[in-house]
Amino acid sequence: MASNGNGNGSVATGKGSGGRNGLPKIQTQKRQNAICHDDTAPTVKAQTIDELHSLQRKKSAPTTPLDGVQGAFANLTEEERHKQQLQSISASLASLTRETGPKLVRGDPARQSETPRVSHAPDHHFAPTFSASDSSLKFTHVLYNLSPAELYEQAIHYEKGSFITSSGALATLSGAKTGRSPKDKRVVRDDTTEDELWWGKGSPNIEMDEHTFLVNRERAVDYLNSLDKVFVNDQFLNWDPENRIKVRIVSARAYHSLFMHNMCIRPTAEELENFGTPDFTIYNAGQFPCNRYTHYMTSSTSIDLNLGRREMVILGTQYAGEMKKGLFGVMHYLMPKRQILSLHSGCNMGKNGDVALFFGLSGTGKTTLSTDHNRYLIGDDEHCWSDKGVSNIEGGCYAKCIDLSREKEPDIWNAIKFGTVLENVVFDEHTREVDYLDKSVTENTRAAYPIEYIPNAKIPCVGPHPKNVILLACDAFGVLPPVSKLNLAQTMYHFISGYTALVAGTEEGVKEPRATFSACFGAAFIMLHPTKYAAMLASKMEKHGATGWLVNTGWSGGSYGSGSRMKLAYTRKIIDAIHSGKLLNANYKKTEVFGLEIPTEVEGVPSEILDPVNTWSDKKAYKETLLKLGGLFKNNFEVFLNHKIGKDDKLTQEIVGAGPKF
C-alpha cells in the first residue's frame, strides 16, 4: 500500500519511467532516520541444514529440582553419567558366549552426526568364550527413554501399520498375535521355585529348566544385538517408594517402548540419573520366533520367566500385553515375600479417604464401577496392599476399546489423545477417525495411556487401608443376589473361586451360560498357591477392619435368555451404599445353598430384587439352577483342596466350609 510521504517510507510514481507492459513504475525510497521494512535480523549461526536442525532441538532440562545430595551420580560429569548408563545397558545385553556386552552408542542411527559416546561394558563372568563374530564389529544404537513425541516419529517412520489418529493417539498393530498366549508362557523351575511356586493341576505356571531358558535368552539377545538400534526403557513398578521395583525393558519396536512408557511409572530426570542396575529386565524380541525344536517349546511363541535371574524373554509375539502381565506375575512373586499382598483389582478412594478394592473378570463392570466421578481413581488393574496402605503397581491404564463410546465411558474416550497407544483398531483412511465397533483385526482392541490422563486420578497413586473389598460377578445363571455381605471365610472362598459366567453364542436359539472361574480373579498371573493370597487378604481385612461384599452385575428374574440384566443404576446405588457405610447398618437375612447374607432393603433399589428367588416366576427352575451353580463351584474348588497352610489344614477346611451346602 502506497504511503503519502508522512510515514516511514514514501512511494513515487514517476511519469515517463514506465514499468513492465507500460504500467507505471513503483519506487520506494528509504528516508533518513526512518525505516520502511526492518528485516535486518542476524542470520542463523548454522552453516549447514544439519546444523540448523541441531539448533532446533533444545537440550532437555531436569523436571524436578536438584537440591542437596543427588545420589551416586551426583559428582559425575554428564559424559561420565552417560558412559555408566551405557555400560549398564551393555551388561544387560551381554551374550552368554562373550566376555563383554555389545558396543553401544546413543542416538538414532539415521542421524550419523549424533553418534557420540561409545561404551564397552566391563568384563562379565560368562563362559564359555568363543571367537568374535561380525556382531562384535558393529555398534548397536541405544534409543534410551525416549519421549512420546520421539517414539511417534520412530514408529511412523520405521514401523508399518503405525498412524496418527484424528484424536492424536498412535494407532499400531501387534502382528499375528492380538492377545496373550498363556499356553506359551514358561517359568523356570529350580531349587528355589520348586517349593515356593504353585505347580501342577490348575496352576498357570508351566515349567521349563534353566538351560532352556538360557537358550531362548541367547536367541533373543543375539537378535536384539543384530539390530542397528534398540529401545531401552528404565522405569519403576509400584508407587510405594519403599517397595518399588526398577525394571529395564529392551525392545525392537517404538510401539513397545511407548506402551511401557505409559504402563510403568515414569522416573524423573533425577531418578533416571541415579537409576543404576535394574531389579528386573525384559528382553522383547517378539518379531523373532523361538526355535520349535528347543525343549519345552510347543509353538513359535515363548514367553519365559526366570525369577532367579530376574529376567523375562519374549519370542514370537508382538502383543504388548505380555510385558505388562509378565511384570505383574513378577510382582505376585516378589511382593508376598515382603508380606505385601499383590492384587488384580481396581481401586478408588472417596473424598473422606475411604478406599475400596474392586475385583472382577472381564464383563463384570470392574472398570465402569471403579471409575467413579465422585471418587479418586488410584488405579484400574494392579495394586499392592502393604502395612501402610494400598499403592498402584502401574503408571497407566490398559483399557478395552471395543464398542467404546463417549457417552458410556467419557474418561477413557477423552484419554485417547496424543501419547496414547491404540492397538489393532480400525480407522477411516482419510479422516483417521477410529471405528470402535469394527472388529476386523480383533475384538481385543486396546488403549494404553498414562494414568494422569484420567481427570480424577490420585497422583501419587497411593491410599490408606481399604474399608471395602468388592467381588464382582456377572452371574448369567441369575441366582446370585445383587449384593451380599461376606464374612472372612466367605471372602476367601469367593476370592479363590473368582467366578463369573460367560454368555454363550446363539447359533440356533439361546444356549445356557458357561461358568468361568479364575483363582484370585487373575489365575493367569499368580505365582503362589491361591490359598496363600486369600489368607493374606483375610489377615489384612481383619487387621484393618475391611468388609467383603459379593455384587452380582449379571441377570435377575431368570437365566440369560429368560431374565434380564441387572440395571446399572441399581448396581451403582448398591456400590454407593457400600461406600457410604449405610449398607453395614441394614437388616440381613441368609440365603439357602450359598448361605449369603443379603440386605432386606437398599436405598434406591426395589426390595423385591434383593432376594433372587422373588424375581423368578418358576420357583422350581430357580432351585434347580441354584443347585447347578453350587455344584459348579464345588467342582471347581476341588483343585485347591490339596494345599495346606501351616501344620494342619484348618484354614483350608474353614474356607471350604464357607462354600455352598446342599
CA gyration radius for the chain?
A: 31
Q: What is the pLDDT of residues 249-294, one digit of tens each?
A: 999 999 999 999 999 999 999 999 999 999 999 999 999 999 988 9
What is the enclosing helix (H) or strand (E) of 139? Answer: strand 139-144
Cα dist. 451→131, 386, 635 in Å? 48, 21, 39
Cβ distance 312 to 300 under 8 Å?
no
Measured between alpha carbons, how far is 63 from 58 in angstroms, rounded to an integer?
14
Q: What is the pLDDT of residues 507-557, one digit of tens each?
A: 344 467 899 999 999 999 999 999 999 999 999 999 999 999 999 999 999
Residue 580 known to be catalytic: no
Which member of 256, 324, 332, 344 is catalytic? Answer: 344
* Lowest-confidence pick of 304-318, 496-510, 532-546, 583-597: 496-510
Amino acid at 616: W
Residue 123 known to be catalytic: no
Q: Count Cβ neighbours within 10 Å for each residue of 21-45 and write b for 16 or more, e otherwise.
A: eeeeeeeeeeeeeeeeeeeeeeeee
Q: What is the pLDDT of residues 442-459, one digit of tens each?
A: 999 999 999 999 999 999
Which member of 88, 92, 203, 367 is catalytic? Answer: 367
Measured between alpha carbons, how far is 201 from 466 in angstroms, rounded to an integer?
33
Average pLDDT over residues 389-397: 98
What value does the mean pLDDT of the chain take?
87
Residue 325 known to be catalytic: yes
Cβ distance 95 to 222 under 8 Å?
yes
Number of helices and strands in the chain (H, E): 15, 35
Residue 400 known to be catalytic: no
Which member of 219, 383, 446, 532 is catalytic? Answer: 446
Residue 467 known to be catalytic: no
Measured between alpha carbons, how far is 506 from 117 in angstroms, rounded to an integer?
62
Residue 211 known to be catalytic: no
Which member of 180, 244, 529, 540 is catalytic? Answer: 180
pLDDT of res. 302? 97
Total Cβ atoms within 10 A of residue 629: 23
Which member of 17, 136, 362, 405 is catalytic? Answer: 362
pLDDT at position 648 over 80? no
Q: What is the pLDDT of residues 344-389, one digit of tens each?
A: 999 999 999 999 999 999 889 998 899 898 999 999 999 999 999 9
Cβ distance 530 to 496 under 8 Å?
yes
Which member of 98, 185, 325, 383 is catalytic? Answer: 325
The strand pair at 229-237 and 245-251 is best described as antiparallel
Which member of 366, 375, 465, 579 is catalytic? Answer: 366
Cα dist. 376→241, 372, 431 in Å? 20, 7, 35
**Measured CA angle at 37 (ends 33, 41), to 5 deg:** 95
Residue 362 known to be catalytic: yes
Measured between alpha carbons, how far is 257 from 250 in angstroms, rounded to an integer?
8
pLDDT at position 303 over 60? yes
Cα-Cα-Cα-Cα torsion 253, 258, 264, 268, nearest 10 degrees, comes to 120
Measured between alpha carbons, how far is 503 from 514 in angstroms, rounded to an integer?
6
Q: What is the pLDDT of residues 52-66, one digit of tens each?
A: 666 666 555 444 333
Q: Which of 281, 328, 271, 342 is nearest to 309 (CA)?
A: 281
Q: Rounded to two decimals, what is the model's pTM?
A: 0.85
Percentage of the chain surpassing pLDDT 90?
72
- Positive or negative, the CA dihedral 173, 177, 181, 187 is negative
